[in-house]
Structure 1
Amino acid sequence: MTKRIFRTILATSFVVLLVGIAVIIGILYPYFGGQLEKELENEASYLSLSVEKDGVAALEQLPHSSSTRITLIASDGAVLYDSQADAAQMENHADREEIRDAMENGSGKAWRQSDTLDEQNIYYALRLSNGNVLRISSAQRSVVSLVLGVLQPLLWVALLLIILAAVFASRASKKIVAPLNSLDLENPEKNDIYDEVAPLLTKIDRQQKTIRQQLAEAKHRQEEFSLITSHMSEGLLVLDSRMDLLSYNESALRLLGVSEEKSSYVGKNILVLNRNEAFREVIESSLAGHHSETLLSLNDLSCQIIANPVLTDGTVAGAVLLLVDVTEKTQREAIRREFTANVSHELKTPLTSISGFAELLQNGIAKPEDTKKFAGRIFDEAQRLITLVSDIIKISQIDEGHLPYTAENVDLRSLISGVLDRLRPAAERADISLSLREGNASLETVAPILEEILYNLVDNAIKYNKKGGKVAVSVEKDGRQTRIRVQDTGIGIPPAQQQRIFERFYRVDKSHSKEIGGTGLGLSIVKHGAAYLGAQILVESTPGEGSTFTLVWDSTC
């Protein structure tokens, strides 16, 4: 801006200089021409007196002058005398403008360009009393000739003036711009500057207030968005049409298995998060303008990806991806399918037996002495079905939390004694000794569920024990923890299978299970029941030496 003002001032000064010189010449040139005319008139008046008295002799006695030419012309136009030429050789002047005017009006004047074009002649003619005409002329230099004559000094003067103009223009431009450079645009209204700039500063102040308000609103919305998305369990990814990330939340990184880094992924290609083909295809489909979904398996997670295009004036500007952790849902579905298959298998076996024995009895194929035995087998299989259905109902009730029980203060020693008394006949048949070790405690819990858990644990300890083995139950209360431990000296559980024993219908030794019976749901009931009561179930087992199951309640939980 300073340079522009400097150039403008300098150019203006130069133009003013040229215009000034032209105006001065335009004013002075006609002025000096008029002065010359007056001088010629005065000179003609003075000479006319001498010529009237002495004639041509008066003119011949005058000293010769190179600047003034005197001519005496007769009334018929013949030249009688000329100060610079031979009168006899000169042509008739009757047709000259100034001569005609003088003949008719008494005086006349005329301006004519000289042959050299760098001068013009001024003529003044005065009619004498005898009819002759006295003419005096003088040459005046033309404007071009005059300018060329003073060109060198004029150039020096112009150069000096231009230098002075440049100096003053530089100072003036800096002085003009200095207040503008010192403007406080953060507080436009506090500036004391040119009145012409005040409307601009007022407009800037209004715009700044609007911008600050809009930035504050945008920041507030961004903070709200970040707060909402950061607490979402679902992952959120926002990308532009070039697949560059615009926004994301921590859940998205977690679900995609990306380790969080200090550097931001904003502005980077979304494929740096995951290069899975299914992931890439769902992104490309959404950027093509289509809604798309896919299920992505990442390590131990199952992630459902829902992608929708973002349209602006009918053009795809980007896409929004929602990532939902459906691992539990997938696992539940897998468990449901497995459970259904297992239940079908477990129900099919006793039903087949019942159907087969019933068909033998119905068709009279069975011998009379076998009828009682077949009826007993039908009864046993029916009881097995009832037990299986009962266990399934118990697990379903625990899973859904639809148990018609309320928590109460339970004397654990008394409850365990009751369980052992119920199982003592079965233990005696298997030659297993049951014992309740020293210890006593009470617990706020649901007695029927805890009784069912302990019954299954002790029942398993008897079934999977050795002949002459032992089963010991103990109660401990240590500070904030309450523990019930069921310990046996049975066959034990291999380490590789200890994590699976709580699965529904899972059996460590299927051949042994057929001998001892059971539905395969006992430990599953234990696991779900413990979770319902807020207890942990711990397993310690050594093959060939026995197993220990411990229920732990922590009052801090």
Structure 2
Amino acid sequence: MTKRIFQSILLVTLASLAVSLAFFTAILFPYFENRLADELAQELAYLAPGAVSGGSEYLRQAGAGGNRLTLIAPDGSVLFDTTADPAGLENHADRQEVQQALAGQAGRSVRYSKTLDKKTINCALLLSDGNVLRVSSTQYTGFALLLSLIQPMLMVLALTAVLAGLYAYRLSRRLTRPLNEIDLEHPQPSQAPYEELAPLLRRLAHQKRQIKSQMQELQRQQQQFEAITENMQEGFLVLDAAGSVLSHNSGAARLLNLSSPPTGKNALELGLCEEFSQPVRQALSGDHVESLIPLHGRQCQLFANPVFQGDQLAGTVLVLVDVTEQQQREALRREFSANVSHELKTPLTSISGIAEIMRGGLVPPGDVPHFAGKIYDESQRLIQLVQDILRLSQLDEDSVLEKPQPVDLMACLRRAADQLASAARAQNVQLAVRGGSVWIQGVAAILDEMVFNLCENAIKYNRPGGSVELWAGADVRGPVLTVSDTGIGIPPEHHARVFERFYRVDKSHSKEIGGTGLGLSIVKHGAAFHHAQVELESTPGVGTTVRLLFPASAQVPAEPL
């Protein structure tokens, strides 16, 4: 702005000077020309008496070193001239000033010489003897005079330009200094250096308040958006039309296992699998894509949605949903359904076959009690299987009907030992209960099932002459319940899966051993219900120890007798 003000002031000053010079030149030249004509007329009046009385000799003396004097006869012939030989001059009867003088008027004319770029002013007067006396003065034309004055005029213009430049510089600085000192961060109309700027500052203050309000609203929306997206389990990426990542959330970085922020990078160059790149390419071409893709050992559902502005593709939104657990649950559901169907089908087939034989009268009367006992055993197996499935369902859905109350872990061990004493004798296994009373807040029915299943497995998978030890107590971590046996043990590769539903280490002997295959799964889910940890230590051929560690907060004082 300072530069423009400086240039404007300087140009206006120089233009004004040039116009003034032209204006004065246009006025002064005609003025001086008229003054010169008047002086020549006065000179004629002064010379006229002498010219009549003295003739040519007088004119020769009067015209020496002055203006040109010419004496012209009434017929136009030149009688005398101070600058040329009269004999060589042409007749002057056709000259304007001579004609005017012969007519009794004040003769006057101006003639230009293009060759010499000069003009001649002529004044003529009719003398008393009938002759005409003419005085001529030659001067430069305005253009020639300007050419002769060009150097001093240029000097004047240069000096004027310097002075005008200094003045324009100081004036422009003085004009813009108050503008530069305006606090645009806090514009106040009352602080306007010029009255004309007050509306502008008022408008700026209003716009600044609007912008501040809008920025605060945008920041609030941005923070809200980030708070929502950063707490999403799903991942999302926003791509431009070329595939470069414009925005992403932490869920996307986690699912894609990115070591650095992908913003600014092309999604196709993130080094991911082809199953990811192919849907992205389809979305960038304008297609909506849904695809199940593997990502770093997990299964993710990818939704790729192109975004259009009119008919132009503006970008793409990618949404990643981790469905690994859903897939696993679905697989477990299918496996569970298959296992339940198999476990139910075996005893039902046996019951149906025996019943069919008995109905056909093919069973001798003496064998009926035996076959009835088989039906009873298989039905009891079905009842136990259904009960175990119902208990697992309750634990899965957290719909246990019993309310937690103080339970003595030692009492649970003794009840399990009493129930399994005959089974232990049949297997030639020594069953021992040790430790002391430890009371926790829990559900007695679930704890009894957990201990019963652990003790039953310890007896089933023991060797003849082996032993099972049940122990209850507490350590620095909290209440502890332990079931140890000297049985066949569990190979290390099966440790992580023995608590799965229907999982058996040795499937070939599962029918001989019996059971529903849900015992350890009930132990696992019952421990989770009581916020306990399950520890398994097992060595093939040596034995197995299962330890339940209850939180210290679960322990309660002993219930009074």
TM-score, normalised by the number of residues in structure 1: 0.90
Contact 2:76 2:91 in 1 (8 A): yes
Distance in 2, matches of 1:454 and 1:98, equals: 151
Contact 1:56 1:81 in 2 (8 A): no
Contact 1:33 1:140 in 2 (8 A): no
Give matches, 1:371-520, under 5 Å: 371-478=368-475, 481-520=478-517
- Given the alignment, which residue of 277, 280, 284 partners 1:283? 280
Partner of 1:437, secondary structure, is strand
Instruction: Write the letter of the residue equivalent to 2:305.
Output: N
Contact 2:2 2:176 in 1 (8 A): yes
The Cα RMSD (Å) is: 2.8
1:332 counterpart residue number: 329
Contact 2:59 2:69 in 1 (8 A): no
Partner of 1:81, secondary structure, is strand
Q: Deviations over 1:160-183 (max 9, x none)?
A: 444444454455455555555555
1:139–1:67: structure 2 CA closer, same or farther, 3 Å change rule? farther
Q: Report deviation, 1:498.
A: 1.7
Partner of 1:225, secondary structure, is helix
Q: Deviations over 1:236-292 (max 9, x none)?
A: 322222222222222221222234x5xx43222234555111211222233333332
1:109 counterpart residue number: 108
2:518 counterpart residue number: 521
Distance in 1, matches of 2:166 and 2:391, equals: 104
Aligned sequence identity (%): 48
1:438–1:94: structure 2 CA closer, same or farther, 3 Å change rule? closer
Distance in 1, matches of 2:158 and 2:397, equals: 104
1:148 counterpart residue number: 147
Distance in 2, matches of 1:269 and 1:114, equals: 85
1:187 counterpart residue number: 186
Distance in 2, matches of 1:518 and 1:112, equals: 144
Q: Report deviation, 1:228.
A: 1.8
Q: After superposing the two structures, state which structure 1 stretch, 196-205 or 420-429, moved more.
A: 196-205
Q: Deviations over 1:344-371 (max 9, x none)?
A: 2222222333333344344455556555
Q: Report deviation, 1:47.
A: 1.8
Distance in 2, matches of 1:158 and 1:329, equals: 92
Q: After superposing the two structures, state which structure 1 stretch, 337-346 or 145-154, moved more.
A: 145-154
Distance in 2, matches of 1:79 and 1:205, equals: 90
Distance in 2, matches of 1:405 and 1:348, equals: 31
Q: After superposing the two structures, state which structure 1 stretch, 185-194 or 69-78, moved more.
A: 185-194
Q: Report deviation, 1:338.
A: 0.8
Contact 1:439 1:476 in 2 (8 A): yes
Contact 1:118 1:141 in 2 (8 A): yes
1:212–1:183: structure 2 CA closer, same or farther, 3 Å change rule? same
1:360 counterpart residue number: 357
Give matches, 1:161-176, under 5 Å: 161-176=160-175
2:557 counterpart residue number: none
Distance in 2, matches of 1:545 and 1:247, equals: 58
Contact 1:480 1:556 in 2 (8 A): no
Partner of 1:265, secondary structure, is coil
2:70 counterpart residue number: 71
Distance in 1, matches of 2:463 and 2:517, equals: 20
Contact 1:67 1:139 in 2 (8 A): no
1:158–1:353: structure 2 CA closer, same or farther, 3 Å change rule? same
1:347 counterpart residue number: 344
Distance in 2, matches of 1:71 and 1:89, equals: 13
Give matches, 1:123-134, under 5 Å: 123-134=122-133
Give matches, 1:210-289, under 5 Å: 210-259=210-259, 261=260, 264-271=261-268, 273=270, 275-289=272-286
1:61–1:535: structure 2 CA closer, same or farther, 3 Å change rule? closer
1:389–1:183: structure 2 CA closer, same or farther, 3 Å change rule? same
Distance in 2, matches of 1:343 and 1:126, equals: 150
Q: Report deviation, 1:554.
A: 0.4
Q: Deviations over 1:410-438 (max 9, x none)?
A: 23333332222222222222222322213
Instruction: Write the letter of the residue equivalent to 1:400.
Output: E
Q: Deviations over 1:330-349 (max 9, x none)?
A: 11111111111112222222
Instruction: Write the letter of the residue equivalent to 2:97.
Output: E
Q: Report deviation, 1:109.
A: 1.0
Partner of 2:136, secondary structure, is strand
Distance in 1, matches of 2:74 and 2:542, equals: 169
Distance in 1, matches of 2:128 and 2:339, equals: 159
Which ranges of structure 1 fall in alignment gaps of 5 or more residues?
none
Distance in 1, matches of 2:352 and 2:412, equals: 40
Contact 2:412 2:451 in 1 (8 A): no
